Amino acid sequence: MLRYLLSWLALWLTLPAFAAELPLLLAERYTGNVDVAQYWVSEKFDGVRAHWDGRQLRFRSGNPVKAPDWFVGALPAQPLDGELWLGRGRFDELSGIVRRETPDDAAWRQVRYMIFELPEAAGSFTERIEQIRAVTAAARSPWLQAVEQFRLPDARALQKKLDEVVRGGGEGLMLHRADAPYETGRSASLLKVTPWLDAEAKVIAHLPGKGKYAGLLGALQVAMPDGKRFAIGSGFTDGQRRNPPPLGTQVTYRYRELTRNGIPRFPRFLRIREAL
């Protein structure tokens, strides 16, 4: 019996360790019931969340980012939280760059690390903004940048700015309460403002295509966290229809509203959630 247990222990010790998702600040959705003047406003980037602990750059999943040495070598010893970003509408291109096991030096020269928070830093968010600006300026690296933060007087001005950003190809806006201390987890101190809703679901089946999509993916059957199931049939590139997200993958989708049964109306595939 002892020999049996020792053999299983030896096998367990050889198994790869799985990264734990990092405890980061996550946004709730803006519903129009807050005083916009009490918040700092910034653009919501369609990038890849990345956390720098002072030594290693990691995705939100906890897995390491395989960035070039020169990229991380310019980062300060202080922890940072931000988005790896190429520009509006370039998420798929960015995802391809940051997922490579061997970094493409030329491709990484286009990537910027946009900083919007200083983990564990003291003071209000207003005070941390000044620290972010100082830290990024001191690094003197063009790929390390502070996210522009600005103030708006009311909800009407917020809607006008949102319309401007979306017309220009942006995703939306973020609101961060000016007096908020640093915290982790989902919090109303950080709000996302978009013209659509988004959520995540797990892929449970590949539904075959018809007509021009015969022999390709027609739709993903997915399950919501509460177990409700529905199909996502739009938003895919031809490449994604030929090689769809594997079963068990978490995907992000957009939708307009929920039906009476709690099912997303007009869901559209946005991206793979656990590809990083």
Could you give the residue numbers annotated as active site? 44
CA angle 196, 202, 208 (to 5 degrees): 95
Spatial neighbors of 231 by CB under 8 A, at least 6 apart, are 207, 219, 220, 221, 222, 267
What tokens does 131 get?
């620290």
Rounded CA separation 238/259 (Å): 29
Rounded CA separation 169/27 (Å): 21
Please say whether the beta carbons of 262 and 235 come within 8 A.
no
Q: Which long-range contacts does 261-269 make (Cβ < 8 Å, 24+ apart)?
A: 261/228, 262/224, 262/226, 262/228, 263/228, 263/230, 264/197, 264/199, 264/230, 267/230, 267/231, 267/232, 267/234, 268/232, 268/234, 268/235, 269/220, 269/232, 269/234, 269/235, 269/236, 269/240
What tokens does 7 get?
């053999």
Pairing of strands 112-117, 250-255: unpaired
What tokens does 143 get?
């790929």
SS3 237: coil
